[in-house]
A and B are shown apart, each in its own frame.
Chain A
Amino acid sequence: MTEITATMAPMDSKARRRRRWLSRRRSIFIGGLLVGLVLLAAILAPLLSPADPYEQVLSDALLPPSWDHPFGTDDNGRDLLARVLYGARLSLLEVVVGVGLAVLVGVPLGLAAGTIGGLVDQVIMWTMDVLFAFPGVVLAILIVSILGPGLFNLLIAIAIFSVPVYARLMRNVALGLKSMDYVEAARALGASTPRIMFDHILRNALGPVIVQSTLTAGTVVLSAASLSFLGMGAQPPMPEWGAMMSDGRNYLGVNIYMSLFPGLAIMLTVLGFNILGDGLRDLLDPRS
C-alpha cells in the first residue's frame, strides 16, 4: 500500500525534491572530500612520508606495518606509506594528462562534426565509432605494443580510447544547440561559423565536459593501474599503484601489504571521482 500512495501523491513532491537535492549535494560533498584527500596526499607527500619513497633499506625488507613504517615495507625495504603517497602524484598526473589529451582532441573533433555536418561529420564519427568498438584495455595494449611500454605512452593510449567519449558528447551538445533560437539569431546577424562554434556552442558545453571529465578520471586511474600492473605502463622503481601491486604479486602469503595499500588507494581515488561525477551529473541534469 505504501508504494501506491508514494507513486500517486504529488503532495510529497516538495519533500522528495528536497531529499533528492540533499543526496545530490551529499555525493558532491563525499566525492569531493575523497578527491580532495588524494590531492592533499599528493601535495603533502614530502611532509607526510616517513621515508624517501625510493630509498632501499634491504635489511628492512618486507616488514609488516609498524610505528616506523605505518604501511610496512616492500621487497626492497622501501617504505610503503611513502610510496603510496607519492603514488597519488602519479595518479593525478595520469588524470591530468589522460583526460586533458582526450578533451583536447575529442572536443574539437565533436565540435567540428556537430557544427559543420555533412561529410566531415560522417568521417569523424566513423573514426570515433571504430575507436569505440575496441575494448579500452585491448586498444591500449595494441598502442603500447607499438609505442613501447612506459607511463607516457600508456597515457597516450588511454587518451586515444577516451577521445570518442568527448567527441560524441560534444557533437550531441553542438547538434542540440545549433537549432536553438539564439544560435540561429547569431547566424542571421552574420556571425561566422568559427565564431558560433566558440562563442555560442563551446561555452555551453563546459558543464557536460566537466562532468564527463570527472567520470572519465576514475576510468583513467583504473586503466593506468591495470596496464601498469601488466607491465605495460609505469616501470619500476616508479611508485605507481598498479606497478607496486605487480611487485606485490610475487609476495603473496609473505607480505600482502604490498598489494593491499596501493589497491585501497586506487579504490578511494576512483570512488571519489565516480561519486563526484555522479553528483555533478545529477546537478546538471535534473531529470535523472
Chain B
Amino acid sequence: MHIYLLKKLITLPLILLGVSLLVFVALRALPGDPARLMAGPEAPQEAVDAMRVRLGLDDPLPLQYLRFAGSALGGDLGTSIRSGRPVTVEIAERLPKTISLALVAYGIAISVGLSAGMTAAVNRNRWPDQATMLFAIAGASIANFWLALLAMNYFAVELGWLPLMGSGTWRHYIMPAITLAVMPTAVIARMTRASMIEVVGQDYIRTARAKGLPESVVMRKHALRNALVPIVTIIGLNFGSMLGGAVVTESVFNWPGLGRLLVDSVRFRDYPTVQGVTLVAVTAVVVMNFLAEMLIAAINPRIRFD
C-alpha cells in the first residue's frame, strides 16, 4: 500500500509539471508577438516594448517557464486581455457556478444511473434490462447540445415552462443539469449493471441467499456494496468528460461558468484566460482522478499490487 501510494504521489506532480509545460508552450507557440497581442493592435511600438519587458518576454524560455509556474503556484495566472482583471479573479467568480451545476448533474446521474443499473441487473435479459441498455447506448451517442436545443425549443420557447437561458433561480438549473447528466447517467447505469451482474455470481451472494436472507437485503447489503468499487471509479474518472460536457452545455445555456469563460476567451483571443482556465480545469481533473484511485486502493487491496 505504501509503495503504491508513494508511486502515485510521485506521478501526480510529474503529470502536473507536464500539463503546465504543455499549456505554457501552447501560449508561446502562438503565431505573432505575444507582447503585441497583450498591448493591443493599435498600441504604439514603445508600449509594445514596455509590455515585452513587463511580461519578461526578453528572458530565455526556461526562465519564463519558471516564472510562469512560480506565479501560477502562488495563485497568479496573469491578467485577462478582455477585462483587464486578474485571471484568478475571473475564474474564482465563475467556479461556483460550474461546481453547482456539476453537482446537480452528478446528483441526477448517480441516482438515476445507479437505480437503472440495479433494476437492469436484477431483471437481466428482461425488458427493464433491455430498456436500460438501450438508454445507456443511446445516451452515450447523443450530442448533448442537440438535447439542449430540443429542450429549449419545446420547454422554454413553445411551452414557456422553463427559462430559456442564464442562471439565477433553481428553475434555471433544470435543463442544463439534465443535459449535462445524460452522458454520465448512461455510463453509470452501464457500469452498475455490469458490476452487479458480476457480483451476483459470487459465492458469498449464494451463501447469503442460502441462509434465507430476503432478496432485497441480499441485493442492497451484499451485492451493491461490493459492486460499488468500479462504480465509484467510473464516477471519479468521469469527472474530466463531465467538465468537457460543461463547456458545451454552459455555452448553449449561457451559463456563466468556467466552460463559457473558456469559449468566450477563445473567441476574444484572451490567451491568458484560456491558459488559466485550462490549467485550473486540468489540475482539478488530475486531482480528482488521483483521489478516485486512492479511494479504490483503500477499498480494494487487490489493486495495490498492480
Contact = CB atoms under 8 A, between A and B. Distances in A.
| Most chain A beta-carbon contacts within 10 A, residue among B142, B144, B289 | B142
Given A226-B145, A263-B143, A141 B263 contact: yes
Interface string A219-235: 00010011001111000
A138 interface: yes
A144 interface: yes
Nearest to B270: A145
A127 interface: yes
Contact of B266 (A232, A259, A270, A275): A232
Contacts, number: 142
Task: Summarize B's interface: helix, strand, loop or mixed.
Answer: helix
Interface in B1-30: 11, 14-15, 18-19, 21-23, 26-27, 29-30
Nearest to B241: A135
Contact of B248 (A230, A262, A267): A230
A271 interface: yes
Contact of B243 (A138, A248, A260): A138
Contacts of B157: 252-253
Contact of A263 (B150, B206, B245, B248): B150
B140 interface: yes
B282 A138 contact: yes
A274 interface: yes
Given A3-B200, A130-B19, A231-B267, A259 B244 contact: no
Given A129-B18, A141-B266, A142-B26, A226 B143 contact: yes
Interface in A95-149: 126-127, 129-131, 133-138, 141-146
A131 B282 CA distance: 10
Contacts of A8: 206
Contacts of A146: 26-27, 29-30
B149 A138 contact: no
A138 B247 CA distance: 8
B38 to A, nearest CB: 15
Interface in A194-237: 218, 222, 225-226, 229-232
Given A145-B266, A145-B271, A133 B285 contact: yes
Contacts of A130: 15, 18-19, 21-22
A141 B143 contact: no
Contacts of B142: 263, 266-267, 270
Contacts of A9: none
B36 interface: no
A131 B18 CA distance: 9
Contacts of B14: 126
A256 interface: yes
Nearest to A136: B244
B19 A134 contact: yes
Nearest to B205: A7
A53 interface: no
Contact of A267 (B141, B200, B201, B289): B141
A242 interface: yes
Given A127-B18, A146-B30, A256 B153 contact: yes
A92 B86 CA distance: 43
B209 interface: yes
B57 interface: no
Contact of B262 (A126, A141, A225, A260): A141
B240 interface: yes
A249 interface: yes
Interface in B124-168: 137-138, 140-146, 149-150, 152-153, 156-158, 164
A141 B262 CA distance: 8
Nearest to A259: B149
A4 B150 CA distance: 45
A80 interface: no
Interface of B: 11, 14-15, 18-19, 21-23, 26-27, 29-30, 137-138, 140-146, 149-150, 152-153, 156-158, 164, 200-201, 206, 209, 240-241, 243-245, 247-248, 251-252, 262-263, 266-267, 269, 271, 274, 278, 281-282, 285-286, 289
18 contacts: A127-B18, A129-B18, A130-B18, A130-B19, A138-B282, A141-B247, A141-B266, A141-B274, A142-B23, A226-B143, A226-B144, A226-B248, A248-B149, A252-B149, A252-B157, A259-B146, A262-B146, A266-B146
Which 10 interchain pairs have the tightest Cβ spacing?
Answer: A263-B146, A130-B18, A253-B157, A137-B244, A135-B244, A270-B141, A135-B240, A271-B141, A259-B149, A145-B266
